[in-house]
Structure 1
Amino acid sequence: MSDVLIRKAGRAGRITLNRPAALNALSYDMCLGIDAALRDWAQDPEIDRVVMDANGPRAFCAGGDIAELHARGTAGDHAFGQGFWRDEYRMNARIAEYPKPVVSLMQGFTMGGGVGLGCHASHRIVGESSQIAMPECAIGLVPDVGGTHLLAHAPGRVGVWLGLTGSRMGPGDAIRAGFADHFVPEAEWPELIARLESGTEAIPAHEPPAGRLPEAQAEIDRLFEGFALADIIGRLEQAGTGLAEEALKAIRRSSPLAMAVTLEILRRLGPQPTIRQALALEYRFTWRAQGQADFLEGIRAAIIDKDRSPRWRHDHAAAVRPDEVAALLEPLGPHALTFEEERT
């Protein structure tokens, strides 16, 4: 059975992730297959919309297949990861800019690569089990797959909080933060998909469950002000609140270098970046991530050896120098990320 089921159903192009045992982790081959289908359907007069979902109750997509990236990277094959990220980012941009409606239904975990797949759609649906996050700093990466685009557009300093801590959002908070649009109880999803396939675009209106952001927003805005990692940590240490302690716990597990670069990306992007601007800046880091950052060590500690004791390049935030951050975001020259129409 294929890891991703791609077919036509009525007036819809249908994409169903089909690796439930692996939490629908996105492999390079899955990425290429999805992107090829999107290219074909864009000009197909029989297709009015694209509907993306996933099999299994636990996850829409919990991220990319990072175990394979680690195996190739530690063997010295950095080109595999660079190619994967390049083609994945092109797919992310295609979804965000697609000329037809794209509907994503995101149950359970949607993280990392899953965010890039589902959260750039034009109609993003979440349900009771939805948990959306960008936890890349904990594995020595920056929020990528266009994640910094979403973080930059989030209200106030919510994007900085999410990017540094990898905090999980339930359905209500995902909608408030701009990662989703509609809450629909998951029991209604089969009927909704059938209507979408038949040509009906109407998505029923339901009130999402209350999240934490309405009450936490002011505190987040105060604690995560600015783009200096050491200053943010200092405010968190002084605050002594439950939110601050939770954030500190996450930050102390994460790569100081990755967090510093995340802040610099968000600073450079400003509040209204385009998806392509975000992806191009992210790619400057990921192109270098295997050889010049903490990514391979982060995967080793979290996924391979599972000792949860990564040996980061820096012991603490203050040890990260500005020139190190700048070097990871230098233009890539001939290796810079390009998009399809720029290559033809």
Structure 2
Amino acid sequence: MRAATIRAHGGPEVVEVGEVPEPRPGPGQVAVDVRAAALNHLDLWVRRGWPGLHVSFPHVLGSDVAGVVAEVGPGVDAPRPGDAVVLSPGIGCGRCPRCLAGEENLCRRYTIIGEHVAGGQAERIVVPARNALPKPPALSFEEAAAVPLTFLTAWHALAGRARVRTGETVLVHAAGSGVGVAAVQIAKLLGARVIATAGSDAKLEKARALGADELVNYETTDFVHEVRRLTDRRGVEVVLEHVGKKTWEGSILAAALGGRIVTVGATTGWDPVTDLRHVFYRQLSILGSTMGSAAELALVLRFVVEGKLRPVVDRVLPLAAVRDAQALLADRAQFGKIVLTP
């Protein structure tokens, strides 16, 4: 089958589209014919590599997948061949206390499709049957592929970890990114006032259309000063932080007394300066959050069906254009998700 792979870590030149063996499902697994696969910054990080990341080359990229079940392995009663599905990107062992409690993202053997195991930027992917959730009929395959990783990440961070409450103010950085697009909508759904930042006025206007109440261009404005102005100097109750080094110090200063900063990523660097005086004196909570559970993704999909959350597809490109797609993502040239079709 054709797939977007890397055979070594490095720059864009290591990404290839070529032939790899077609996977077959084993016990408890399903094979899914991919109809659409969305990109994430995770694809760029996996391509570059980091200490401690171990993959088998050639490694297939891609965490967000929607498609049709082609074949099921022994012991699988559902889904069935022909079913349209969207894949939950996190895989737990299914046996430990965390998995049995529905908290597979806290499983010590937790893996992510496209990061630790073969991904879905290919013509076919094999996953545990429990990871294949029904695709909402009202969504195209491209729209469905734009949901899983970023909406799940934002939901678990805001609803599960930060526990956003009605009437609070939430600062969402990089509102044009996949996580940002999801977080603006989820914070509004939870009853919050949303201050959105982005690097262009065009992206900010699109964020407003998704529900953002206040807009800050962080390229032309000091976002800390603007947040304090917009909150009568109180600061925000919650910061959704996924930019990392570029915004971290400012995020701490933008938080209110007793505020919560929930971090889900570090796109611009993982080693920012943290002034602990602001943390302990102002009694801030710094919360880490990674992915979420399949149950949370099922809830997100329900809200999508009800029209309360909306995936945003920036553009659809053929699988052969995966290098171009990565370049657009690296340049922050998109609003929402870039989706590939085999």
Query: TM-score of the superposition, structure 1-length normalised?
Result: 0.28
Structure with the largest fraction of helix = 1
Structure with the largest fraction of strand = 2
Query: TM-score of the superposition, structure 2-length normalised?
Result: 0.28
